[in-house]
Amino acid sequence: MIVSKAKERQDVINMLEGVKSVFLLGCSECATLCGTGSPEALAEMKESLESIGKKVTGTFVAKTGCQVLGTKVELKANKEEVDAADAILVMSCGAGTQSMVEVFKDKKVYPANDTAFLGNMTRFQHFDERCSMCGECIIDKTGGICPVTTCPKGILNGPCGGTNNGFCEVSPDIECAWAKIYARMERTGELEKMRQIIPPKDYSKKLSPKVFVIEKKKEEK
């Protein structure tokens, strides 16, 4: 899931300087799980903005904010509320915010959140970064644990000389990714694979902006 953090409220207020009325849009997926785009978060934002004299013309939690066409269709029911607002304040990730830029080409659109990373929710409201979307997954060679992301140095053939009793030299709060990889591959009987040298990654696959189109399969003749 995409992890988002709410901006400081004062930063949002500063962003809305000169804006008298806003429409609030949330997202029922990642931003709701993060508590940054849920119905409760929207209600709290509405109350906060109204307390400083802003008019909130309406609120809506989109099913999937980054789905441009789906959100456009959903928002038809809120057309009057959106039209009445000077701006849309989007409480989702940056992708959801830019969906609104695409849908409402002449309307001001502002982000209420900072988008942080692709994360795993490992316990309630606790998110860990496990994958940094490098575009070429190699974790079949590392016991299913990603050294690109979970080793602060991104070492592909570790550990480095600083590994310390299972922890990382960068911080005693971080487990050494390569100690974890070793322990897991020992458990799964794949230790022999650790003798293979993983070649340098092709980081051109991580360059932005990316486009991915799923092509229709040709019908078999």
Identified binder of ligand SF4 from the candidate list 60, 104, 178, 182, rule CB under 6 A: 178
> Nearer to ligand SF4 by C-beta: 84 or 133?
133
User: Is 90:97 a contact under the CB 8 Å cutoff?
Assistant: yes
Largest CA distance in the chain: 66
Identified binder of ligand SF4 from the candidate list 176, 181, 182, 185, rule CB under 6 A: 176
CB of 110 to ligand SF4, least distance (A): 30
Which positions from 104 through 163 interact with ligand SF4, judged by CB under 6 A?
Answer: 131-134, 137-139, 146, 148-149, 151-153, 155, 158-160, 162-163
Identified binder of ligand SF4 from the candidate list 79, 170, 172, 203, rule CB under 6 A: 170
CB of 114 to ligand SF4, least distance (A): 21
Q: Is 101 in the site for ligand SF4 (CB under 6 A)?
A: no
CB of 142 to ligand SF4, least distance (A): 8
Of 49, 98, 93, 33, nearest to 72 by C-alpha is 98
Of 155, 151, 115, 150, nearest to 129 by C-alpha is 150
Q: Is 198 in the site for ligand SF4 (CB under 6 A)?
A: no
Tell me the C-alpha distance between 98 and 182, whole Å: 41
> Which range of residues in 15-23, 66-74, 175-183, 207-215 is near ligand SF4 by CB under 6 A?
175-183
User: Is 174:201 a contact under the CB 8 Å cutoff?
Assistant: no
> Nearer to ligand SF4 by C-beta: 4 or 163?
163
Give the number of residues in contact with ligand SF4, rule: CB under 6 A. Answer: 25
Binding region for ligand SF4 (CB under 6 A): 131-134, 137-139, 146, 148-149, 151-153, 155, 158-160, 162-163, 168-170, 176-178
